[in-house]
Structure 1
Amino acid sequence: MNPRSDAVILRCADATVRLSPGNGGRISGLTVAGHDLLVDGDEYGSFPMVPWCGRLRDGVLRHAGREYEFPCDAPPHALHGLGWTAGWTAAALTDTAAELSFDLGAPWPFGGTVTQRIAIDAHGLDLELTISPAAVDFPAQAGWHPWFRRTLSAGDPPLRLDFTPAWQELRGDDYLPTGDRVPPRPGPWDDCFGMPDGVDATLTWPGRLQLRITSPVRWIVVYDQLPQGICVEPQSGPPDGLNTTPQIVTQDAPLRVRSRWDWRLLG
């Protein structure tokens, strides 16, 4: 699907957000004071990860004594959940806010609904994801996978990422956490880090703009191994967390995660 064919535009002050509900419910563009912050393209921008984040080992969910299999789109694992390749429905639109929804269906065996809210103001974005079960309780995760440009203009110094995690999840040869935690190591990264007081990361495009990402969630994945951009991903659990650190979603306790992106111009 052409991600621009169903575009929803939000605007406030000198910032514009372009949403593509039909292409994974993603933020396909974010422009601040004329600067495009996100990598452009059908697979990029910033997309929600639901009902799991990152890699699910061997595409298998083990829950309540049963195994459920999902397509291994990043062999040998299943990647980023089911929402990022699905069509979402847009509703509750205003000039500065939108609500997108996605019904969890096959191959997800439990049903349920995901709601995503995006709101822009003069200084940043508020993001929220809510996973609600239909009838049966189930484990779930939620988070965001933004691709940030390395430079905002030709010849600029590259993007700098600053964050202070408490630990790094030791990664095995299969790119999944081993269960051990180690002191944070220098990049390059395709790694998950723990921030028990909540995610707090700052991205700086020198002389141009600074963006601070905060969230109450305790994990952040950083991926910086491709030239297209750098991914800084707040999420409610580590990769394969559906199996290793499951958070059970019930009708009385849906999973709700939030993130705030604050920006300021430099220079």
Structure 2
Amino acid sequence: MKLACGPWEMVVAPEGAAILSLRRNGRDILRLTPQGASDPFDHACFPLVPYANRIAFGTLEWEGRLHHLPRNHPGQTHPLHGTGWRERWDIVESDAKSVTMQRERPADRHWPWSFTAVQRLELDAEGLNAWLEIRNDDRGAMPVSLGFHPYFSRDGATALQFEAGHVWLADDQMLPTKTAPADHFGDWSAALPLEQPQLIDHCYADWNGSAIVTRDDGDIRLAGSGTPALHIFLPPGEAFFCAEPVTAMPDAVNHDEAAVLAPGKTMQAGMRITSA
């Protein structure tokens, strides 16, 4: 499904409620999903629901009960990114510039609470507005963290700039261990080149909600709403990087950082990708 407004064009799909491409003036702002791709990791962007990033070894204790979640993607030791990115959503509303998708999901072994998720994607003359909501349809409270996983194209992009309070360091399985100053890997507030010598796959907490991607065709602003953390995935030598607005750190439920969502209650997160 193709959406357009002004200089912006976007292609979306109900599989994983995914964005397959996002272009401005004909140039890829998010990386282009390969034709015929079947792996959701190849998508340009997908929602993170009902949890963001990893849950360590799929084990979590909630309200005195221990739960074990199975692995949900080949090659991944820990359940990753929730359930929504791997499932087909229903298109409930659409027009030339926007689409709303919904996923009603009963409890199962991948997530032991029932919920309904809604994602709305809309283009305007400035860029993309994304909105994600989850409602707890279960009889008990459930842990929740939300977010978005955009893969930005490095074609024409040279630097990234943002401000945060601190960064979560991680072990060799990329599970959070302790915090460090936000400039531990370099001073992002002054803008750092996207070409870094080491892998960065870390969550920056107390993010101020804004980041700037320096591009040769005009800078891009990433903004988050209700997302006090920004997860950066910057793999050396790749044609993409990720800057993910999220509501909490990886493995949030095991660090008492997940939100507690009561039955019938909702929680939202938002993201904007616009010209700076």
**CA distance in structure 2 between the aligned counterparts of 1:34 and 1:49, rounded to whole angstroms:** 27
1:61-113 CA distance string (max 9 Å, x none): 22111122222235421111111111111121111111111123322211010
The secondary structure found in structure 1 opposite 2:213 is: strand
The one-letter code sitting in structure 2 at the alignment partner of 1:194 is: A
Gaps of 5+ in 1: 1-7, 153-157
Residue 109, structure 1, aligned to residue 108, structure 2: no
Shift of 1:172: 2.0
**CA distance in structure 2 between the aligned counterparts of 1:36 and 1:200, rounded to whole angstroms:** 20
Residue 46, structure 1, aligned to residue 45, structure 2: yes
The one-letter code sitting in structure 2 at the alignment partner of 1:243 is: N
Gaps of 5+ in 2: 186-195
| Match for residue 22 of structure 2 among 3, 8, 30 | 30
The one-letter code sitting in structure 2 at the alignment partner of 1:40 is: L
Among all aligned residue pairs of Structure 1 and Structure 2, give the percentage whose two residues are the same amino acid: 25
1:182-228 CA distance string (max 9 Å, x none): 342225411110135x321111212x121111113110111111513
- Matched residue, 2:6: 13
**CA distance in structure 2 between the aligned counterparts of 1:18 and 1:258, rounded to whole angstroms:** 19
Residue 214, structure 1, aligned to residue 214, structure 2: no
1:109-156 CA distance string (max 9 Å, x none): 11010000111100111111101011332011110111111114xxxx
**CA distance in structure 1 between the aligned counterparts of 2:260 and 2:178, rounded to whole angstroms:** 20
The number of aligned residues is: 249
- Matched residue, 1:65: 64
The secondary structure found in structure 2 opposite 1:46 is: coil
**CA distance in structure 1 between the aligned counterparts of 2:112 and 2:70, rounded to whole angstroms:** 13
Q: Is the deviation greater in 65-74 or in 161-170?
A: 65-74
The answer to whether the 8 A contact 2:182-2:204 is kept is no
Shift of 1:39: 1.5
Q: How does 1:107-256 map to 2 (within 5 A)?
A: 107-136=110-139, 137-152=141-156, 158-186=157-185, 188=198, 189-196=200-207, 198-206=208-216, 208-216=217-225, 217-226=227-236, 227-244=238-255, 245-251=257-263, 253-256=265-268
1:226-246 CA distance string (max 9 Å, x none): 513000000000000122112
The one-letter code sitting in structure 2 at the alignment partner of 1:258 is: G
The one-letter code sitting in structure 1 at the alignment partner of 2:46 is: F
**CA distance in structure 1 between the aligned counterparts of 2:69 and 2:104, rounded to whole angstroms:** 17
